[in-house]
Each structure stands twice: as C-alpha cells, then as structure tokens.
Amino acid sequence: MRKRWVILIMLLLFIVEGTIMPWLIPIDWIGRIVPQFTFIFVLYAALYAGRHTALLLGISFGLLQDLVFYGHLIGVHSFAMGLCGYLVGLLLAFKRIPMLTVLSIIGMACLLYDSVIYGIYRVFRITQDAYVVALMNHIMPSLFLQLAFALAFYIPVRRWFSGYSQKKQLDDAV
C-alpha cells in the first residue's frame, strides 16, 4: 500500500525534474545544477526499505530516465542508480541513524552517483572533460540542491516508509 504511493510520488518527481525544474533554476546555473530527486528517493528506500527495493527502484527509474531522454547511451542512470541504491542498502539498511548522518550519507551517495555517471560517459568518450572540471562544473553545485531536497523531504519520507520498515523488522525478528 505504502509502496504504491512511493512509486507514484517518484513518478511525479521524475516529471517535475524534467519539466518544472528547468524553469526554476536560474539561467546561469542551468546545466550546472542538475536535479536528481528520484535518486534521493532511491536512497531513502535503501535506508528504510532495504537494498532489494532500492535496487529495483533504482534500475527501473534510471531506465525510465534513460529511455525518455535517450541521447547518447541507454543504461547509464539505470546502472548508477541501481548500484548506489544497492551499496547504501547493503551497508546501512534499517540501522537507526540520526538525521545528520543520513544527510551526509545521501551527500556521499550523490557524489558517487555523479562520479559513476561521469566515469561511464568518459569511458564511452561522450565527454573529454577532466574529473576536476566535472566536479566543479556540475557535481558540487548539484550536490547542494540534492541535499536541500533530501532535508525538505526527510520527515514525510520517514512517515511514508515507516509502515514498511516496521513490518520488515518484524519479519526479520521472526
């Protein structure tokens, strides 16, 4: 039940990323601040619903983005989102961690995600920029947007996932 709502919200966020955000970002920062809201939700899913849910959500929403905005490659976001979601879930799922730690984990996962994407594009020669250029150009600026989004959604997300994680914990205990 809860899960269905989460998927619906993620679909909505995916739409917002591509349609409303381009109008909200100041013109000088377009291309430098890149919204990745669905990915934040994948990370929350990894923390509060387990690594397999995160893997599945990451692969499917990443694939959605790859197919809808097919430019160079299919599978980049799918791979990166799935991988990051799974790793975070593997290390930290269902642990009781305070908010600041959660935010710093999300920040690090965002860095990893952007780096993986940069790495794939670099390997396939879509970009020739050095990593430092990419870091200063868009990875760091987008990190702040992602953190702000994660902070804004921290409390509602806890509520949406809470039923799920309690049930899961009970299952684990049994």
Partner 1 sequence: MMRNKRLFILLIGLILFIAVMGFSLSDRKDLTWPEKFLNDTVGYVQQWFYKPAGYIAGLFEDIRSMRELHEENERLRMTVASYARDKIRYNALEQKNAELQEKLNFTEEQKNRNNYTYMIAQVVSVSPDAYNKTMKINLGSRHGVKENMAVVTEHGLIGLISSVSPFTSNVMPITELDGQSANAKWISATVEGNEEASFGIIESYNIENGQLLMTKIAEEDPLKEGDVVVTSGKGEVFPVGIVIGTVTSEQVGDFGLTRTAFIDPAAQFDKLSEVLVVKVPDAEGDAE
Chain contacts with partner 1 (rule: CB under 8 A): 15-24, 27, 30-32, 34-36, 64-65, 67-79, 82, 117-118, 120-121, 124-129, 133-134, 137-138, 142
Tokens of 36: 């990745």
CB of 166 to partner 1, least distance (A): 26
Which of 68, 97 has the CB closer to partner 1? 68
CB of 115 to partner 1, least distance (A): 12
Q: Please, are residues 28 and 94 in contact by the beta-carbon 8 Å criterion?
A: no
User: In angstroms, rounded to a whole number, what is the distance separating the alpha carbons of residues 72 and 18?
Assistant: 17
Distances (CA, A) of 74 to 6, 24, 81, 158: 25, 27, 13, 32
Which of 51, 161 has the CB closer to partner 1? 51
Task: Identify the CA nearest to 47 among candidates 109, 116, 131, 128.
Answer: 109
CB of 54 to partner 1, least distance (A): 14
CB of 34 to partner 1, least distance (A): 5
Backbone region of residue 94 per phi and psi (left: phi > 0; alpha: psi in -120 to 50; beta: other values): left
Which of 137, 162 has the CB closer to partner 1? 137
Which of 31, 163 has the CB closer to partner 1? 31
Which of 5, 124 has the CB closer to partner 1? 124
CB of 5 to partner 1, least distance (A): 18
Q: Please, are residues 78 and 42 in contact by the beta-carbon 8 Å criterion?
A: no
